[in-house]
Amino acid sequence: MHWKNALSTTLKTLTAHDRIGLVTDVDGTISPIVPHPDDAQVTPRSRELLAALQSRLALVAVISGRAAGDVRDRVGLPELVYVGNHGLEWWRDGQITLAPAAAQYRPALDAVIRALDGQIAAGMQVEDKGATLSIHYRRAADPPAVAEQFAPILREVAAAHDLALFQGRMVFELRPPVEINKGSAFGQLVEQYRLDAAVYLGDDTTDADALRLARTLRESGRCYALGLGVESDDMPAVVRASADLLLSGIQDVESFLAWMLSAASASST
């Protein structure tokens, strides 16, 4: 269901609560997907709306697969809360805090970088994010063929070094095998900020954990949470299946943020 079809139902219930939080992914949600990850930019309108919402809501936070410092610099709003590397890193008190369970796997990540040296195909990029590694293949000549070729190689490398392998949109990710993800980070934010209601926005496979948790929180009565999936041409099926409501691309995300700001402003008058 498109979010505008829920204005008089679930979204009306959401905005009736006192302590509301908004948590968003970055790439593909408030920043267009681009061939090279370093070129990604948050849209000016999204940045403007998030800044305005920060003073109206109990929490405005960003959870990203990017490193915490990278996503904080990229969004450019120091007053927001930032969680990076799918929940493994938190920006706190001007510095990055790494989950203790993940720190011991740095030597394994270094070993993977060495193991992949010379094997990466043209157009692929290994991104070292400190706590995790991302292997991008969007710029390869034939991305589906590259994915098929490298999936077994990366499964073998991950198993050899006791790391977990995940696959997103045109990217493989190697992470420490710990029970931390965007869903657990979303739940931690809800608890830490004592939220009565919350909304999560995301577009990729790794966002599905948070989208599913939103439903669990709502159904358990712990927090009236809603998960919004962002549609695209290559939207993963798991995102559509996990989302409560849908947004039709990044411009529609901006429309939703503007609606949230209007609703929050009206409730405070």
**CATH, residue 25:** 3.40.50.1000
Angle between helices 106-116 and 143-160 (to 10 degrees): 130
Per-chain mean pLDDT for the chain: 93
Give the span between the Cα atoms of 54 and 56, in whole angstroms: 6
- Kindly report, residue by residue over 256-268, the tens digit of the pLDDT: 999 999 999 987 6
Residue 175 pLDDT exceeds 80? yes
Q: Please indicate, yes or no, whether residues 201 and 224 belong to a single structural domain of this protein.
A: yes
Question: Pick from 175, 207, 229: which residue ends a domain?
Answer: 175
Q: Please indicate, yes or no, whether residues 135 and 54 belong to a single structural domain of this protein.
A: no
Residue 50 pLDDT exceeds 70? yes
Q: Please indicate, yes or no, whether residues 197 and 128 belong to a single structural domain of this protein.
A: no
Q: Please indicate, yes or no, whether residues 63 and 86 belong to a single structural domain of this protein.
A: yes
Q: Please count the structural domains in the chain.
A: 2
Q: Please indicate, yes or no, whether residues 166 and 40 belong to a single structural domain of this protein.
A: no
Q: Please indicate, yes or no, whether residues 83 and 185 belong to a single structural domain of this protein.
A: yes
Residue-level pLDDT at 268: 65
pTM of the complete model beyond 0.75: yes
Contact of 183 with 213, CB cutoff 8 Å: yes
**Catalytic-labelled residue, pool 18, 25, 196, 244:** 25
Count of CB atoms situated within 10 Å of the CB of 135: 22
Domain that holds residue 206: 3-12+19-99+180-267
Give the span between the Cα atoms of 244 and 131, in whole angstroms: 31
User: Is 142 considered catalytic here?
Assistant: no
Residue-level pLDDT at 269: 56
Q: Please indicate, yes or no, whether residues 39 and 149 belong to a single structural domain of this protein.
A: no
Residue-level pLDDT at 117: 87
Q: Please indicate, yes or no, whether residues 73 and 90 belong to a single structural domain of this protein.
A: yes
